[in-house]
Amino acid sequence: MRIHWIRATSLGALLLTVACGTEATAVPPAAGTASTAVTSPATLVPGKKLNVVTTVAPLTNIMLNIGGTRIELHGLIPEGTDSHTFEPAPSDAKYLANADLIVVNGIHLETPTEKLAEANMRKGAVLFRLADNTISQADWVFDFSFPKDKGDPNPHLWMNVEYGIKYAQLLHDQLVKLDPTNKDYYDKNLTSYLALLQQLDSGITAAVQTLPADQRKLVTYHDSFAYFARRYNMTVLGAIQPSDFKEPSPQEVAALIDQLKKEHVKAVFGSEVFPSKVLDQIAKEAGVQYVSTLRDDDMPGEKTAPTHTYVGMLIEDVTTMMTSLGGQADALKGINPANTYAP
């Protein structure tokens, strides 16, 4: 079961078990990256809120649910922007220079942003890499869009809710270290949010179980479901977008069409952020459904909508997948995707 020009994923990879406690386990940063900047935390002026800068929208939303109204939060990467190629503008330096805490996903996703942060951070500010503190290099996934020979692992850990839970715990710990006065508030928010994320994790697991085992196959445009598949017992047959983020060649397209027919795949999934005309062509010639609305860092609905959250994004994604592949998403219907932080 292999598409020769795209990556094939082994589900035999180790699954990291995340503890339910809130104590972060430090993982050394990847070789070739700067150490996480944890210097002596800056002393907050009484009554002043922490200035927190995050990168991709799911991380920003997780932080919002922990920090709530006690932090000033700025998401640096606009939704709908390719986070892999995002170059921060010079004007972004002011947000980084004023930040008490800068949170990035890490494992090479936001290298330009990290460099700008390190050049502009004030003394005592903290640069924290979530992924580097969630999994070790032994659990990195390399695939067609993120080949091992280039050294950049697949960074989309947040698509696995188990890792989203760990992200929330790590963010809580950072806020408490920098702002212990508001510990009770951050504790309360973490408890509420973890309950929602655990409900989401269970709901996704139940929804995937409604699919016949031979239909738990994903073919996507952008390779962002590697950690999702490992958690929820699905197989990613491949991704259409090459590692240089260009369109596939005619020979690659022909090979994929043949493989889709052979594997009896019911649907191929495009991306809100990465529109692709060639994916529509592939689906038509292979005789499968083309669905263009999967998201990995672009949250659904208007910004004020209760669905415009990390949880809402995953509920929409999984509902789309299940209904397209022949399963059901009833297990997700009772989950309220709205933010849970206290006023």
Percent of the chain scoring above 70 in pLDDT: 82
More confident residue, 256 or 187: 187
CA-based torsion, 86, 92, 97, 103: positive or negative: negative
Percent of the chain scoring above 90 in pLDDT: 54
pLDDT over threshold 70, residue 139: yes
pLDDT over threshold 90, residue 49: yes
pLDDT in tens, 83-99: 766 778 888 899 999 99
pTM comes to: 0.83
Q: Does domain 210-332 have CATH number 1.20.1260.10?
A: no
Q: pLDDT-based confidence at 255, cuts 50/70/90? A: confident
More confident residue, 286 or 315: 315
- What pLDDT score was predicted for residue 329? 97
- What pLDDT score was predicted for residue 179? 97
Section 35-61 average pLDDT: 75
Section 147-172 average pLDDT: 94
Domain ranges of the chain: 37-202, 210-332
Q: May I ask the CATH class of domain 37-202?
A: alpha beta
Contacts of 99 (CB under 8 A, 6+ apart): 51, 52, 53, 74, 117, 121, 122, 125
pLDDT over threshold 80, residue 39: no
Strand partners, 101: 52, 126
Residue ranges of the alpha helices (H) in 79-233? 93-98, 111-120, 161-178, 183-208, 226-232
pLDDT over threshold 80, residue 190: yes
pLDDT over threshold 80, residue 238: no
Q: pLDDT-based confidence at 43, cuts 50/70/90? A: low
- What pLDDT score was predicted for residue 102? 97
Cα–Cα nearest to 7, from 127, 148, 117: 148
What is the Cβ-side half-sphere exposure of residue 18, based on CA atoms within 13 angstroms?
25
As to burial, measured by CB atoms within 10 angstroms (0-12 exposed, 13-18 middle, 19+ buried), residue 19 is exposed
- What pLDDT score was predicted for residue 53? 97
Q: pLDDT-based confidence at 100, cuts 50/70/90? A: very high
- What pLDDT score was predicted for residue 52? 98
SS percent in the chain: helix, strand, coil, step 5: 40, 10, 45
Annotate 286-323 with b (16+ C-beta within 10 A) or e (fewer).
bebebbbebbbbbbbeeeeeebbbbbbbbbbbbbbbbe
Query: Are both 37-202 and 210-332 of the same fold?
Result: yes
